[in-house]
Structure formats: structure tokens, C-alpha cells
Amino acid sequence: MLSWLRLARELAVPVIAGVMLLLGWMLSQGDENGVPWWAPALAYFLSYAVAGAEPARNGLRLALKGRFDIDFLMILAALGAAAIGEVVDGGLLLLLFSLGHALEHYAMGQARHAISALGAMAPRSVRVLRSGAEVEVPVELVKVDEHVVIRPGERVGVDGRVFAGRSAVDQSPITGESMPVEKDRGDEVFAGTLNGDGALEVTVLRVAADTTMARMIRLVEEAQSQKSRVQRAADRFTRIYVPIVLAMVAFVAIVPAWLGWFPPADGSSVWKASMLRAISLLVGASPCALAISTPAAVLAGVAKAARSGVLIKGGAHLESLAHIRAIALDKTGTITPGRPVVTEIVPLDGEDADRVLALAAALESQSSHPLSRAVMAAAEARDIDVPAVRDLVAVKGKGLVGQVDGAMVRVGALRLFRSTDETSVPRTALDAVERLEGQAQTVVLVAEDDRFVGVIALMDRPRAEAARAIARLQRMRIDPIVMLTGDNPMVANAIAREVGIHDVRASLMPEDKIAAVAELAKRFGAVAMIGDGVNDAPALATATVGIAMGGGGTDVALEAADVALIRDDLERVPFAIALGRAARRIVLQNVTISMGMVALLIPLAIIGWLPITLAVILHEGSTVAVVLNGLRLLAFRDPTDQHGVEVSAPTHSRAVADVVGATDAPGAS
């Protein structure tokens, strides 16, 4: 219904102008019946005024500054037709020109609406817990760290982290995921998403103006004002081309008639015939379609990207994505999510794996180290009762020691035990440590009194979709794909092998990453850098296109990047590149259509084979065609995605979430 109302509003001007033009023509046929001369003249004047008001205002404003645009050409053509008695043709020109603009504005508005409608999804107020009671508060007045209650079936009004409760949340408006995502304590939720059948209590992370949805809308609006290289070239061409068209029109209007060329077959005035040819040339040579060919595709492409979980900060960056030939990726926080997980438990001396984990979790429950959180998550996932600990002591850089059920329990790296008695570590434990460290895993030993009960291995596992994303990029003939990381070579190579990356550069400082990106750009041309941390920001800024992980990425990385992934999903990268390539193809198609039509109409107009009416129909038809062609990007689906563009990555329990490859033992500084 709203779509039809918008279309009706856009069509109001051409409809009114058309009615006035038809009325004027009918009244002009009634001279013999006593219709006064001023009646059709008034109707024609109203038709011209309604259809020509906006182009006249825009065209004259620029003409006074010495610049001539397409609106100026159309007004000039219409007035020229009226001056030689072709009032109906001039009115029809303005009518069809306004109709073309109305359809163009409506189509472009559809693309803008794809994003701006998101703003209406977020509720205007939320229930905030204040002094133990729920208070209805406008979202603009909600403060960071306040607690908001979200009932089943409600829209989420804030960006926040789940403090209590569990539910499935439909995130499709923000991240493009087709299936609801399970949310539990510690998971992040976004304003504008739809809560499922569970109640949630959410801690506010961002004020209303800084929510992910607000940033999406703001960036899409900014993208409309940022022009791509092709669009800037088209603008430069138009500034030169329009004066040339005016000179050609003046030549065609004067010289042929003066020299007696192209005499009219019906014996009518040679000057009138020349003026008709000149007006047809003015219409046919106007580059309306060229002017709109790139903005239509860029706006649709940026809108589609945002609805699919990718923020592109301008048309220039969408265009640059199409030219990417090499990609560099950070490891921690990008290929891996930056949170460790327990990957293996090796019981020793006949001990049970659950008891090994319970003893470790007892000590780790008092630590905030990333590995400690991973051990606790694993115990929680197995529903293990964690015993209490007393007299806990952290041995800096080595591990933890404490009393559990009257026994002394030690949890830590091998150096914790070797610092006291090297011979006390049994061969079975040393073999397990050697095997697991050979796989680039972090190893924690667990001992109860003088008995070693087990070994726990932890690792920052690759994201579930990382290998698929790398494979898709390789199918798109992007080569090389390089891992740039500050981690040690053994860990870096282990992760790289798992996801299918063959070029690894480890132990890098931030300046080394900049040099690596610059070297890739020199060798391969356009290069993309994908990262999430403060140390990645300089490399993101150096790359042709910097891509930041928007979910867990730092504000510095997001500011330095040209593209942000709202959800930390690496499969959005091949999608974004494929979208950029599709946008480039459509822009080239649009330029070909627009310039091809101009090349066809100019010679036909010069030799007098192009009536004004036909010139207007073909001219405006090509304009509408390029707009509709550009809007095809709103329905874009990446052909390289074997799972479908809107398919979400598998969700994991907190115990098997991927994590940073930390090599220090729990309790290390």
C-alpha cells in the first residue's frame, strides 16, 4: 500500500501536466465553436508550468553559474518547440521528461527505502530496570550499562549484551541471516531485531544514535553522496559534453537552413524544419541516462550489501571491491574469533575426563584469563558440578595452585611443575604435552597432590565459515590469499593449513603488516585487508579496500576500514566482492545503453528522421531502463555461494566457540 502511495505521489506532476496538455489540445480544436483563444493558451501554460517548474529551477540555477545541465537542455527544447508553433510537442516533451523523472525517483526511492525502512523497525521506547522496577523510557534517553527488559515477540530497542534469559532472535534485518540465532548470557543483540519466545534482560552497550542500525542508515546516506570513479568520470564528461551539444544544436538550427541543406519535402519553411531537427537533436543528445546510470547501480548495491550484513562506506569502495586481486587477513579476531576453546582432555592414571575438567574449573573459576574462561565454558557445557576452592595462589606466568576438597590442586603450564621437581612429570604426561604442542595447541596440566590426573588442550579455533570463505575466494580467482599475524609461526601455520591458506607471514609488528599490504598492492594491484584490532587499523587504511570485522572489531578498525562486516562472518567477504563485480557489470551495461542511444539519436535528428515525440520516448525510455537495470542489484545472489547468500553460519555453544591463541598458562600476566 505504501509503495503505491509513493508511486501516486511521484506521478502527480506528470498526471496534472498531461491533463492540462490534453485539455489545451481539445480546446484548441474548438475555435469554430466560440472557444476564446486564451482558454487553450492557459491550459498549455499550466501544463508547461507544472511539468517544467522543477527542471527550470534547477537548470537556471546552474546556468547562472555558467554550468549547463540536462534540465536546462530540456527546458530550452520545450521553449524552442513552443516558439515555432509546436506547442503540443513541447508540452509532450516536458510531460514525458517529468514522467521519466517520476519513475526514476520512485525506483531510486525503492532502493533508499530498503534501508531507511529499517529505522522504523526499532521501537521508540523500551522498558528499563530502574530501582528494581520496569520503567518505560524513550530509547534516546537510555544510557549505556542500563538494563533493558525485552519480552517475547518484541522488537529489540537497543544494542546490548544478554545479561539474563535465553531466546532465539531474528537478526535478518541487520545481518542477513535467514534463521533466528540462539542468544544466551554474554551474547550480543542488535536494535531492530525481533525477539523470539523467550524473555531477555539486556545490558545496553550503545546509545540510540550509535546502534548498529543507526550506523547502517547513516553510512548508506553518506554512500549516496560519495561518487565512484566511473561516476566522477561521467560527471566530467557531462560538463564538457553539454556545451558541445548546445553548439551542435545552434549549428543545426542555423547553418543547414542558411545554406539550403535538407529542404523539407512538403515545401514548408526551411527554418522551421531546421528548428525541429535542432530540438530533436537537443532531446536525443541529452545524456540523462548516462547521468543516472552509475548512481542507480551504486545505491542499489550499497542498499543490498547493508541488508546482507555488509556496510560499504561509499560508491567508490563498492567499485574498488570489483577490482580486488589479492587479500590479506589478520588471524586472531578475523580468521579465529579470539576466544580459546577446550579441544581435548587427556585423562592420566585412570582418571575420568569430567573430573579432570572439574578440578581445573575449580581453580579457573577465580581467574579472568581467556584460557580460564574457556575451561569454565567447557565445564558448563558438560553440566559439571565445579567444587569450591580455598587458598588460591596465582603463580605469575605459570598457573594456579589451590585447595580442593582437602587436596592441593595445581593447574598450569609445564614450567609450573618443572620449577619445583622436573622428574615428577610422568612420561605419559610429557608425551601428551609434546603431541598437543606439536599441533600448535596450548597445554594445561592438572595435578592433585603428587598425582598427575590429566592434560587439557586449548586452541583458538578457526571460525566455522573460514574455510568455506577462503575456498569461495579461491574459486573467484583471487590469488594470493595471505595471512598476516603477530602470532608465532607454528600456531599461524596450523590455522592456515586448516582453512586452506598457503601464504603465511607470522611474528609481524603493525608496521610489518603495512609493508606487506603495500608490497601486495605493488605486485597485484588492488588488494583488500581484513582485520579487527587496533594493530590492524594502519594496514586497513593502506589497502585498496580495508574490511573490518564489525561485530567484535574495535572502533579504530571500523573507522579506518572502507567496509565493515556487521556480523563477524568471513563469508560476507566473497559476497561483497561478487556484489562489487556485479555492480561494475551493470554500470558498464548502463553506460553502453545510454551512450548507444545517444549515438543512435544524434545522426537521426540531424538528418530529420527523428520526430520530437519519438526522440522523447526513446530518450526517457533509456533513462528508465538504466534505473531498472541498476535496481536488479537489490535482488542479487552470489553465484559462488553454494549455501545461498542469506544462509547463516552454524551457531556453537559457548564451550566450543573459537578463541584467541594464547600461549601463556592461566594466571599468566
pLDDT digits (tens, 9 = 90+) for 545-555: 999 887 654 56
With cut-offs at 50, 70 and 90, classify the pLDDT of residue 467: very high
Max mean pLDDT among 74-78, 324-328, 531-535 falls in 324-328
Mean pLDDT for 316-324 is 92
The answer to whether the Cα torsion of 561, 565, 569, 572 is positive or negative is: negative
With cut-offs at 50, 70 and 90, classify the pLDDT of residue 667: very low
Total number of residues shown for the chain: 669
Residue 90 belongs to some domain of the structure: yes
Residue 667 belongs to some domain of the structure: no
For the cut 80, the answer to whether the pLDDT of residue 115 exceeds it is no
Residue 153 belongs to some domain of the structure: yes
* Residue 668: per-residue pLDDT: 30
Structural contact between residues 453 and 349, judged by C-beta atoms closer than 8 angstroms: yes
Residue 576 belongs to some domain of the structure: no
Question: How far is 569 from 554, CA to CA, in rounded Å?
Answer: 16
Residue 261 belongs to some domain of the structure: yes
Cell matching residue 446:
592438572
Single residue among 436, 459, 482 that ends a domain in this structure? 459
Same domain, 194 and 234: no
Residue 542 belongs to some domain of the structure: yes
Same domain, 510 and 537: yes
Mean pLDDT for 509-515 is 88
For the cut 70, the answer to whether the pLDDT of residue 285 exceeds it is yes
* Residue 648: per-residue pLDDT: 32
Same domain, 471 and 543: yes
Same domain, 350 and 433: yes
CATH number at residue 165: 2.70.150.10
Of 93, 665, 65, the residue nearest 419 (C-alpha): 665
Same domain, 383 and 405: yes
Question: How far is 631 from 635, CA to CA, in rounded Å?
Answer: 8
Give pTM, 2 decimals.
Answer: 0.74
Q: Which of 99-113, 506-520, 593-607 has the lowest mean pLDDT?
A: 99-113
Residue 611 belongs to some domain of the structure: yes
- List 71, 159, 330, 562, catalytic entry: 330
Q: What is the residue range of 495's domain?
A: 311-337+463-568
Of 458, 422, 413, 460, the residue nearest 667 (C-alpha): 413
Max mean pLDDT among 163-167, 214-218, 664-668 falls in 163-167
With cut-offs at 50, 70 and 90, classify the pLDDT of residue 453: very high
Same domain, 192 and 245: no
Same domain, 11 and 85: yes
Cell matching residue 393:
595462589
For the cut 80, the answer to whether the pLDDT of residue 267 exceeds it is no
CATH number at residue 448: 3.40.1110.10
* Beta carbons within 10 angstroms of residue 368's beta carbon: 8
- Long-range contacts, stretch 173-176, CB < 8 angstroms, 24+ apart: 173/118, 173/121, 173/213, 173/307, 174/118, 174/212, 174/213, 174/216, 174/309, 174/566, 174/567, 175/309, 175/566, 175/567, 175/569, 175/648, 176/307, 176/308, 176/309, 176/567, 176/572, 176/645, 176/646
The count of domains in the chain is 4
The 10s digit of each residue's pLDDT in 571-599 is 999 999 999 999 999 999 999 999 999 99
Structural contact between residues 395 and 424, judged by C-beta atoms closer than 8 angstroms: no
Same domain, 189 and 230: no
pLDDT greater at residue 69 or residue 574: 574
Structural contact between residues 459 and 442, judged by C-beta atoms closer than 8 angstroms: yes
Same domain, 368 and 258: no
Same domain, 363 and 406: yes
Count Cβ atoms within 10 A of the Cβ of residue 255 and give its class: 0-12 exposed, 13-18 middle, 19 or more buried. exposed
Task: Using the structure block, give the residue that is written with the C-alpha cell 600448535.
Answer: 440
Mean pLDDT for 406-435 is 83
* Residue 644: per-residue pLDDT: 44
Same domain, 6 and 107: yes
330 annotated active-site:
yes
Residue 426 belongs to some domain of the structure: yes
Which H or E run includes 136? strand 133-138
Bond prior to 480 in cis (omega within 30° of 0): yes
Question: How far is 363 from 295, CA to CA, in rounded Å?
Answer: 60
With cut-offs at 50, 70 and 90, classify the pLDDT of residue 466: very high
The 10s digit of each residue's pLDDT in 216-248 is 666 656 655 556 677 777 778 878 888 888 899
pLDDT greater at residue 530 or residue 112: 530
With cut-offs at 50, 70 and 90, classify the pLDDT of residue 659: very low
The 10s digit of each residue's pLDDT in 331-379 is 988 999 888 899 999 999 889 999 999 999 999 998 878 788 899 999 9
Mean pLDDT for 476-499 is 91
Same domain, 186 and 228: no
Mean pLDDT for 263-283 is 78
CATH number at residue 333: 3.40.50.1000
The 10s digit of each residue's pLDDT in 170-191 is 876 666 555 688 888 888 888 8
Structural contact between residues 385 and 358, judged by C-beta atoms closer than 8 angstroms: yes
Cell matching residue 545:
579496500
Query: How far is residue 182 from each of residues 84, 219, 649, 658, measured CA to CA in Å?
Result: 72, 28, 12, 17
* Mean pLDDT across the chain: 82
